[in-house]
Amino acid sequence: MKKFQVPNIYRSSLITAIKNKRKQDDKLKKDFSPTMIDLGPVQFYIARHFGFCYGVENAIEIAFRTIEEKQGKRIFLLSEMIHNPQVNTTLKERGVLFLQDTYGKQVIPFDEITGDDVVIIPAFGTTLEIEQMLKQKGIKTEKYNTTCPFVEKVWNRSEQIASNGYSIVIHGKPKHEETRATFSHASSTTPTVIVNNMADTIELGKYITGEKAAAMFYDEFKGMYSKGFDIEKDLQRFGVVNQTTQLATDTQAIAEYLKSLVMQHYKLNNETIGERFADTKDTLCYATNDNQTAVSAMLETKADFAVIVGGYNSSNTTHLVELCEEKMPVYFINNEENILSEKEIVHFNIHDKQEHLTKDFIPASIPVKILISSGASCPDSLVESVIRKFSSLFTIDKTLDEIEKHFF
């Protein structure tokens, strides 16, 4: 796989040593068990896969190279490069201006940019409408388009099945940048509708079977279907694609539910299902899948609590938290500063979208066992900082520098 030039501020010698050792010992990626760091009174179990994925490293390399090459030019980002506050803050500090926030709200009017400016398209991609607007302004985005190749894979698969007469159902968060971009691309070639979760899917299924009156669809799914969408005919043949950072098991469950419903409704079998339902399993992102599988394997280890590091608005990171909270206490933190002391930690609740202070979170029993992972947009340097901060709360038997040498 291609190696990217990522600034050293995001790298970690400790995490790199661990990842390289695991890669060397497990080239086929069949072992998803965590890596254990034993410091005596505290033990860390680090997920097999975590941190920057291919798409994120590609985006960061392009962004920082552009800053170096285009000094003196105004450089804009359509929205957040990735969902990590540290990376986005660094880009702002280096002069990059953000045109929109993460939900598409305008921060700087498009009228203020000209053909002399550089506009970077973030890893999530963007809509065809925005691409066309930039083109009309004479802004060339090809060199500065950091859209993740796995997002583009979803777009290409959507276009392929659309050419065979299928409509598209997108499993994604309707307000997420990637979902908005995928919706734009898919709906340009075929009728398209978004489902946020299984509850949405079940209700959509009732329109397919006729259990619900067609007229109700347009209010219930307002803002989530393409122009001219006809609920009575446009879901007679369709395929399911996803926002790549969704929980893979959720996408699979949604696809299987709709497939089963279609088979039953039209009295089809495994040989004839293709008449009504397109196979799109190949659109799941490898990194999302690997990170989620690694967290599931990590959770098989008996531990006191789990820590997930990353941006609070990161979809893929949020899903790692969801996996953890089914098994044990989990603390979703932005960086090591959230760990106030051995008594207090500030962490984000994914349900009420607020930070909370938890006291006495570290048990008195020794050793304290902590599971750790991070999202695909989280720098390894942050993970190391979190490990070092936790380590500083204990009188440890070995230093992390001594541990690091073990992995070389």
178 is catalytic: yes
C-alpha–C-alpha distance, residues 323 and 300, integer Å: 12
C-alpha–C-alpha distance, residues 354 and 332, integer Å: 11
Distances (CA, A) of 232 to 219, 229, 400: 15, 9, 62
C-alpha–C-alpha distance, residues 306 and 368, integer Å: 11
Q: Are strands 167-171 and 238-242 parallel, antiparallel or unpaired?
A: parallel
What is the DSSP code string of 37-90?
A: EE-SSEEEEE-SS-S--HHHHHHHHHHHHHHHHTTTS-EEESS-SSS-HHHHHH
Taking the alpha carbons at both ends of the chain, their separation in whole angstroms is 21
For residue 232, the tally of other CB atoms under 10 A from its CB is 12
List the one residue out of 280, 242, 273, 249 whose CA is nearest residue 259: 273
Beta bridge partners of 370: 44, 305
CA quadruple 83, 106, 64, 118: dihedral positive or negative?
Answer: positive
Beta-carbon contacts of 331 under 8 Å, excluding residues fewer than 6 positions away, are 305, 306, 307, 308, 338, 345, 347, 358, 361
Catalytic choice (57, 178, 384, 404): 178
User: What is the set of active-site residues?
Assistant: 178
